[in-house]
A and B are shown apart, each in its own frame.
Chain A
Amino acid sequence: MSKQAITLTVNGVARQALVEPNQTLTSLLRDELGLTGTKHGCGVGDCGCCTVILDGETVNSCLVLAMQAQGREVMTIEGLAKGAELHPLQQAFVDAGAIQCGFCTPGMILSAKALLDHTPQPTREEITKGLSGNLCRCTGYEKIVEAVQDAADKMSEA
């Protein structure tokens, strides 16, 4: 089967791409659209590095076919900042020291965003459950949880 044309919205912008049937959403984002913030960690949904927000819900993009994103809305890490201004979650991660090697960070921040979109004032337990699909080997998660709590407070003040 030859490449298929698909259209979708990525970070608020309508995009078109020609994709192979066996191409993943991760590859569509990284290789066709140049959005390299979404990472490859395992390819089988075990680590969460490839997390994006698809129609408002987090998914492991390594297990979504590009074809399945036809007509849908995707948010990647590149969609959070407004120009040079970081999203409160990004700023909170920076301020809290929640970023070390940074490889899990895009997926982690998007999971946090989806969590706060659904639950603006989460308990610690809700935060850990919301981030439970994103592995981190560097931080021990403590400063990540603090960052999300911080961001939740700042975002609800705004």
Chain B
Amino acid sequence: MLLPSFDYYRPQSLPEALSLLGEMGEAARPLAGGTDLLVNLKLKKLAPKVLLDLGGLEELKGNRQDDGMISLGALATASGLASGGPEVPGLLAMGAGSLGSPQVRNRATLGGNLVTARPAADICLPLLALGAKAVLAGPGGERVVALDGYFKGPGYTVKEPGEILTRVLVDAPRPGVGGGYQKLGLRQAMEIALVNVAAHLELEDDGKTVALARVALGAVAPFPMLSPGAASALIGKAAEEINFSEAAEAAAADARPIDDHRGSAAYRRDMVRTLTLRALRQALSQAQGNQEAQA
């Protein structure tokens, strides 16, 4: 399959990249891992005149921790995130590790996944559940946007064409915090989720009450979505099966699935319920596990 013709530039710095982007407007597209963008070009879904390779931008590389917050570089690869480490929340590592294939994970980036914004995106969903924020650099400066509200539609976000997503901010992992990620597909690998759920739990010091919860649902809306119903069924309540079931019901009710050739809305809705329950159990296990380890 051939790629259409385009010009290629590799800016050396973020200001240079922003300047080029501003100059070329909608004719230019930033390129990171290419695992989505180049496919779309081959399938003739997009035809940019210029590709700006962000691979040389130091500002987008490296992860740093500062005062309980982690700043992840947008160029972090899925495989880099999947291998975890103290700076990568467990939930994010889980999602990243289930993306595509090893080869795709070695190229697909954190920023790319957020910009491409597919409804079932394996990195977007955990980040949404983690309450992450995206740093968008533009000609006028930088702005920080919460992911809750960032997604607008399939492939469509609040990011302006002239902006580059440079970093993602998440809370540093700490005891009593856990995540669960459930992905349903046909095969065990190389799948776009039929339904996926990311659950994030923060426990009170007693290890039994939910201080904070977020449940993010994938493939059941035009974009990755949070389930407000699941959150309210959990926050302040006991971290127990009965409340998890209620949260799962609420998540199923909040979901807005459609019928498509991969599956029916009804089935997806039922699976939201099942996967939410499983994700919450996973999250609890992790949260209690690291709380005990700390004790």
Contact = CB atoms under 8 A, between A and B. Distances in A.
A44 interface: yes
Given A57-B106, A63-B34, A65-B8, A133 B190 contact: yes
Contacts, number: 92
A106 interface: no
Contacts of A35: none
B190 A64 contact: no
Contacts of A129: 102, 189
Interface string B1-37: 1111111101000000000000000000001011100
Interface of B is mostly: loop
Interface in B112-141: none
A23 B41 CA distance: 12
A58 B3 contact: no
B188 A132 contact: yes
Interface in A30-76: 42-46, 48, 51, 54, 57-60, 62-65, 67-68, 70
A105 interface: no
Contact of B102 (A42, A44, A58): A58
Given A21-B7, A22-B5, A59-B106, A44 B101 contact: no
Contacts of A42: 1
A58 B103 contact: yes
Contacts of A46: 190
State which size class the interface on A falls in: 20 to 34
Contacts of A90: none
Q: Among A20, A22, A63, A65, find the residue whose CB has the most chain B CB atoms closer than 10 A.
A: A63
Given A68-B53, A133-B103, A133-B189, 12 more contacts: A21-B5, A21-B6, A22-B3, A22-B6, A24-B3, A42-B1, A45-B35, A45-B103, A59-B106, A60-B104, A63-B39, A64-B34
Interface of B: 1-8, 10, 31, 33-35, 38-39, 42-43, 51, 53, 55, 79, 100-104, 106-107, 188-190
Interface of A: 1, 4, 20-24, 42-46, 48, 51, 54, 57-60, 62-65, 67-68, 70, 111, 114, 129-130, 132-134
